[in-house]
Chain A
């Protein structure tokens, strides 16, 4: 039996279809979830996809964080549900305080879409088990508000507890503190990152297939569990 991976559609979610496709390619059963529901449909893991939920008008992720389904997701994530936030989803996780810090406007003030090289810093999370420590991967990055910031104490703590999951290499595209591209919570079940692994699952349409590992990782961890 394969695992059920939910992907939430908020108003303004854009990469929800891509995330569902990535789950399918990785071998999981993709389950669309609706922001207005209180029902997680018995999913084994959940992805908060990229996009501009609620137009990002107040602050990226700030309104989506109050969507009905987030009540369930916040509780379930705290209880260990594997949860991945990509781009806007990462912003929602920070706004929900499932992850520390915040994402602000890129240093250059422009929206930037590039094939980004990352270094894998933590393979102990539920979403990175199939990657190797120090591995370099290339996945697309595209955002206007991707600069990760937090106070020094938080950053130090993230480093000391090995919670930096991905770091930008060969250039920091948005001014993120300590080149941070993705982080996780203490348990390692909640991961957020700005780049888009769901856009690197097929050689035809992506810069490669490095992103697939995140989806395969969670499926394997669920089978093992």
Chain B
């Protein structure tokens, strides 16, 4: 290895030359944050220390604006005995019985996906997969929640194509089935798409790994890809700042591409298999993935969370480019890397196993008995800090909050004045228009680009309400996962909006027959420095924490993504919520559609006149105003219990939740699942019956002989139930209103995305 040609800013140098000008503002640090670093160190930071603080104290890594609000998820959590690992680790771990546990988490990769859609989305998947791997779990499925701008916006096809190919390209090559998610279009995401990726992993209780560096003399081993110049400042420059102006491309344009990481799923696949074998053979005492803030984050977090200190020789890190200075090596976000803590006696075995898998492994340091994180570069000390100051003691802000000036006006602007369809023909046209609208149309064009079969345990995937996977070949136990959000609802009322996202995911899990157990979330908002955005954030977190308590499902972890805005305009507040449920016997899962002719169709739950913020209001009037449907959490819980019980006792043959697009859309989807028609009779106000988005509702199908049993269960759980029709035939027929042949429904439903993006 050659000596660096330019002088390196050492700790010694920092002491002797205290007055050096440092570019802390360019790195995203505020004046008082810089002062605080000097106070912690008793001197100015070195260039490498400064870079490390800038990324570790960035909004993305430190949660400095959100921390005070996120505490509610812990303080206000429902009592539960299913959490083996709660918030604060890389991902929560949930006990699902029989000694099995699962871990799951959703994370954003929004800004990178705008700058470079393919790599941004791909590495979003790669990053969340490593989080799951870090817990000691085998990753077994992925999901993704994607939001794009107006489909007619000229930039949207570029983003849709790149993001979908990126999600697929990485996940497919990694061999993880993609089992669901969402794709949403709204002009609010023009210039700021949302790419939220979720991964699910399975492990046995005693397989849990922790991200801790302990045991003086233990070796710090870097596994995986070489470190390169990609993703420099990804966490700070890209994820923790606003795009300035979408019109000129400033801020989000090509100039920021070096801050986007470049993914290599093949290397990640080898890294996964290699790490799982290291765990199995008991060769590591601690493990941490390298994601945002790269080596800086991994070494400071593992050191801070263990006992003792750490000494890292940065010049030992294998590089793609020999000329990289230590500052860049410390904060590079090159993908497909892990950091393992290994007892000295196991180092050779670890290196041998890595060789077998073709994974590069390098001892870069060791755990010390001190309390400092020391990083050297060719023998000279360039970092000497308390690790906790980087990892845990970053700034915490109580940001000012202000209810948006237009909040009252937007809530007052209800759908009352909008023309509702009244004739039979108008209603028929509305059903078809909704079925073909970009947000409700078939997702096939997207989901066919994802492998849903690999690993051979996928029981349900798209277009079902939730993904269901069996947890292994030797068990019938499975889990269901759903990921939902609704930015429009949250814009109208962020407290209710967050609850509605949870309620929908919770309901989607229950419609498969699974019992909802735990929650992950990805909170996508504008700039926290805008008090109106902060109000939305405060309301949404409060709403979500309250609803989690009421439904008895704890938050296990998640991610906050701020600065989703272009110039002064923030996106709609968009809390995306993932719910995980367990199903003791996956063979009893329920499909979300009609499976045979002659089943009775029943509607569970109550329908109210709630169309503000609905797909109908948007599709037919481009209207957003009023108040979203009321969250009815007691009713959601009752409905979920009823659905689980009905599935367990084989009382129903299928169940589909009612959400965006109401009963109309639910019927269309249930009919199209297996091309089995239905005959429906509605009550007095067909418009409300078909298009209201009242919550806590589902349709179920039932054989004649089982209807009485279902009614009995419904009465016990106090869920209202109405018989609305019967499956069969080759059309969706609603008495006195319309009769739409299945092929016409299918044409409407399936043509939209290929027309827009194919």
Is B130 engaged at the interface, CB distance under 8 Å to the other chain?
A: no
Complex contact B357–A112 (CB within 8 A): no
Is A178 engaged at the interface, CB distance under 8 Å to the other chain?
A: no
Is A225 engaged at the interface, CB distance under 8 Å to the other chain?
A: no
Known contacts A21-B473, A205-B470; is-contact A111 B459 (Cβ 8 Å):
no
Is A65 engaged at the interface, CB distance under 8 Å to the other chain?
A: no
In whole angstroms, how far apart are the Cα atoms of A14 and B269 in the complex?
9
Mark the stretch among B384-392, B450-458, B636-644 that contacts chain A. Answer: B450-458
Mark the stretch among B13-21, B166-174, B294-302, B487-495 that contacts chain A. Answer: B166-174
Mark the stretch among A77-85, A121-129, A155-163, A196-204 that contacts chain B. Answer: A196-204
Is B741 engaged at the interface, CB distance under 8 Å to the other chain?
A: no
In whole angstroms, how far apart are the Cα atoms of A36 and B450 in the complex?
30
**Contact partner of B455 among A11, A17, A204, CB < 8 A?**
A17
In whole angstroms, how far apart are the Cα atoms of A52 and B358 in the complex?
15
Residues of B within 8 A of A202 (CB): 456
**Contact partner of B457 among A111, A114, A196, A205, CB < 8 A?**
A205
Is A136 engaged at the interface, CB distance under 8 Å to the other chain?
A: no
Is A130 engaged at the interface, CB distance under 8 Å to the other chain?
A: no
Chain A residue at minimum C-beta to C-beta distance from B457 = A205
**Contact partner of A55 among B266, B448, B450, CB < 8 A?**
B266
A91 shortest CB reach to chain B, Å? 14
Residues of B within 8 A of A142 (CB): 172, 451, 453-454
A79 shortest CB reach to chain B, Å? 29
Complex contact A12–B456 (CB within 8 A): no
**Contact partner of B168 among A14, A111, A205, CB < 8 A?**
A111
**Contact partner of B456 among A18, A36, A113, CB < 8 A?**
A18
In whole angstroms, how far apart are the Cα atoms of A205 and B586 in the complex?
10
Is B264 engaged at the interface, CB distance under 8 Å to the other chain?
A: yes
Chain B residue at minimum C-beta to C-beta distance from A108 = B758
Residues of B within 8 A of A32 (CB): none
In whole angstroms, how far apart are the Cα atoms of A35 and B266 in the complex?
16
Is A110 engaged at the interface, CB distance under 8 Å to the other chain?
A: yes
Complex contact A15–B587 (CB within 8 A): no
Complex contact B449–A204 (CB within 8 A): no
In whole angstroms, how far apart are the Cα atoms of A202 and B470 in the complex?
13
Complex contact A205–B456 (CB within 8 A): yes
Is B725 engaged at the interface, CB distance under 8 Å to the other chain?
A: no
| CB proximity to A under 8 Å, residues B146-203 | 165, 168-169, 172-175
Is A28 engaged at the interface, CB distance under 8 Å to the other chain?
A: no
Is A61 engaged at the interface, CB distance under 8 Å to the other chain?
A: no
Chain B residue at minimum C-beta to C-beta distance from A115 = B453
Complex contact A206–B264 (CB within 8 A): no
Is A51 engaged at the interface, CB distance under 8 Å to the other chain?
A: yes
Complex contact A12–B459 (CB within 8 A): no
Complex contact B448–A112 (CB within 8 A): yes
Is B721 engaged at the interface, CB distance under 8 Å to the other chain?
A: no
B561 shortest CB reach to chain A, Å? 27
Chain A residue at minimum C-beta to C-beta distance from B168 = A111
Residues of B within 8 A of A15 (CB): 175, 454, 456
Complex contact A205–B450 (CB within 8 A): no
Complex contact A111–B175 (CB within 8 A): no
Known contacts A111-B172, A204-B470; is-contact A18 B358 (Cβ 8 Å):
no
A16 shortest CB reach to chain B, Å? 9
In whole angstroms, how far apart are the Cα atoms of A196 and B165 in the complex?
21
In whole angstroms, how far apart are the Cα atoms of A111 and B451 in the complex?
9
Complex contact A113–B453 (CB within 8 A): yes
Chain B residue at minimum C-beta to C-beta distance from A51 = B175
Residues of B within 8 A of A140 (CB): 453
| CB proximity to B under 8 Å, residues A17-70 | 17-18, 21, 36, 50-52, 54-57
Complex contact A113–B449 (CB within 8 A): yes
In whole angstroms, how far apart are the Cα atoms of A17 and B357 in the complex?
17
Chain A residue at minimum C-beta to C-beta distance from B359 = A11
Complex contact A111–B586 (CB within 8 A): no
Complex contact A114–B453 (CB within 8 A): no
Known contacts A51-B175, A114-B448, A204-B586; is-contact A14 B454 (Cβ 8 Å):
yes
In whole angstroms, how far apart are the Cα atoms of A204 and B589 in the complex?
10
Known contacts A11-B270, A55-B266; is-contact A111 B449 (Cβ 8 Å):
yes
Complex contact A204–B459 (CB within 8 A): yes
**Contact partner of A52 among B165, B266, B450, B455, CB < 8 A?**
B266
Is B265 engaged at the interface, CB distance under 8 Å to the other chain?
A: yes
Residues of A within 8 A of B586 (CB): 204
Chain B residue at minimum C-beta to C-beta distance from A50 = B454
**Contact partner of A198 among B173, B267, B357, B456, CB < 8 A?**
B456
Residues of B within 8 A of A110 (CB): 165, 448-449
Complex contact A21–B456 (CB within 8 A): yes
| CB proximity to B under 8 Å, residues A134-156 | 140, 142, 144
B511 shortest CB reach to chain A, Å? 18
Interface centre among B174, B358, B452, B455 (most CB of A within 10 A): B455
Residues of B within 8 A of A21 (CB): 456, 473
In whole angstroms, how far apart are the Cα atoms of A55 and B263 in the complex?
12
In whole angstroms, how far apart are the Cα atoms of A14 and B270 in the complex?
11
Residues of A within 8 A of B174 (CB): 14
Known contacts A112-B448, A114-B448, A140-B453; is-contact A204 B587 (Cβ 8 Å):
yes
**Contact partner of A12 among B270, B447, B470, B587, CB < 8 A?**
B270
Complex contact B453–A55 (CB within 8 A): no
Complex contact B451–A113 (CB within 8 A): yes
Complex contact A55–B456 (CB within 8 A): no
Residues of A within 8 A of B473 (CB): 21
In whole angstroms, how far apart are the Cα atoms of A17 and B138 in the complex?
14
Residues of A within 8 A of B470 (CB): 204-205
Complex contact A52–B451 (CB within 8 A): no
| CB proximity to B under 8 Å, residues A173-204 | 196, 198-199, 202, 204
Chain A residue at minimum C-beta to C-beta distance from B267 = A55
In whole angstroms, how far apart are the Cα atoms of A217 and B358 in the complex?
36
Complex contact B453–A11 (CB within 8 A): no
A47 shortest CB reach to chain B, Å? 14
Complex contact A113–B457 (CB within 8 A): no
Known A18-B455, A18-B456, A52-B173; further 7 A-B contacts with Cβ < 8 A? A15-B175, A55-B267, A111-B450, A111-B451, A142-B453, A198-B456, A202-B456
| Contact sample, A vs B, 27 pairs, CB 8 Å cutoff | A12-B266, A12-B270, A14-B173, A14-B269, A14-B454, A17-B455, A21-B473, A51-B175, A52-B265, A54-B266, A55-B266, A55-B267, A110-B165, A110-B449, A111-B165, A111-B172, A112-B448, A112-B449, A113-B448, A113-B449, A113-B452, A142-B451, A144-B172, A199-B456, A204-B586, A204-B587, A205-B458
